Copies of this chain bind each other. A is one copy, B any other.
Amino acid sequence: MTEPVSAPPTRAPRTLSRDERRTQLFEATLSTIAECGLSRTTLTEVARRAGLSHGLVLFHFETKDKLLAETLDYISDEYANNWQTALAAAGPAPEQRLAALVDADYNPAVCRPSRLYSWCAYWGESQSRPLYQSRCGANDELYNTTFEAICADMNRVHGYTTDPVRAARLIRITIEGTWLELMTMINPYDQQEAKMTAWTCASYLYPRHFGPDGPLKPAGAT
């Protein structure tokens, strides 16, 4: 019978809601992996970065292994959402969809140190932890087949004769390659140059639709 007093519309979080706290801990984990490396990532350090006790990390994730596995899920989902959202917002033409995919991979949301170093750290351990490999596998395969379908459409719609599997792979690994170099080079080029490298790759595959600076004649301009 107690009526809601004044304004408890969106229920106020207690100290912090479960999901918010988990997200905060994911971010703390990623920043730790990026700055300390996976081998020096400790629960205490993750907690310190979040301003919390290390007991809380285990309260939310049970074990360190589960924290790391779920953090991988977190960036894996983030990556998938990023390109799928970009694709959904793109025009229907294959060159528009291809451009959207390339652009998405250089979105600062996914193309930033805390993500890149973490990806690399997980890749380096994927051999020893099949969990890591399988969790991302489904996502990756969807990305690859989507990319290949777009390349197949470039042939069908625009008369190119490029092998779609190889073309998709070339653009995909060009992007991954620039990611790696952004991380590992002493004097890396900037993200703009990285992106232009990817466009250059696309321009060799589809010269009537892409140049080193991006898509040519952006759609049917007004």
Chain A residues near B (Cβ < 8 Å): 33-41, 113, 117-118, 120-129, 133-134, 136-137, 140-141, 163, 166, 169-170, 172-174, 176-178, 180-181, 183-186, 196-197, 200-201, 204-205, 212
- List the B residue with the shortest CB-CB distance to A173: B177
A38 touches B39 (CB 8 A): yes
Give the shortest distance, in Å, between A99 (CB) and chain B (any CB). 18
A124 to chain B, nearest CB (A): 3
Once bound together, how far apart are the Cα atoms of A166 and B163, in whole Å? 23
Decide if A37 touches B124 in the complex (CB within 8 Å). Answer: yes
Q: State how many copies of this chain the complex holds.
A: 2
Contact of B141 with A186 in the complex, beta carbons under 8 Å: yes
What residues on B are CB-neighbors of A205 within 8 Å? 204
Chain B residues with CB under 8 A of A166: 196-197, 200, 212
Q: Which of B33, B122, B173 contacts A181 (CB 8 A)?
A: B173
Residue of chain B at shortest CB distance from A33: B124
CB-contact partner of A124 in B121, B129, B196, B204, under 8 A = B121
B121→A170 contact, CB < 8 A = no
Given contacts A141-B186, A186-B133, contact A35 B127 (CB under 8 A): yes
A178 and B173: CB pair below 8 A?
yes
Chain B nearest CB: distance from A192 CB in Å?
Answer: 13
> In the complex, which residue of chain B has the Cβ closest to the Cβ of A128?
B37
- B41, B123, B185, B186: which contacts A120 (Cβ < 8 A)? B123
* A170 and B127 contact, Cβ closer than 8 Å, known pairs A140-B185, A141-B186: no
A43 to chain B, nearest CB (A): 13
Considering only CB atoms, which chain B residue lies closest to A185 in the complex? B140
Find out whether the CB atom of A177 lies under 8 angstroms from the CB atom of B184.
Answer: no
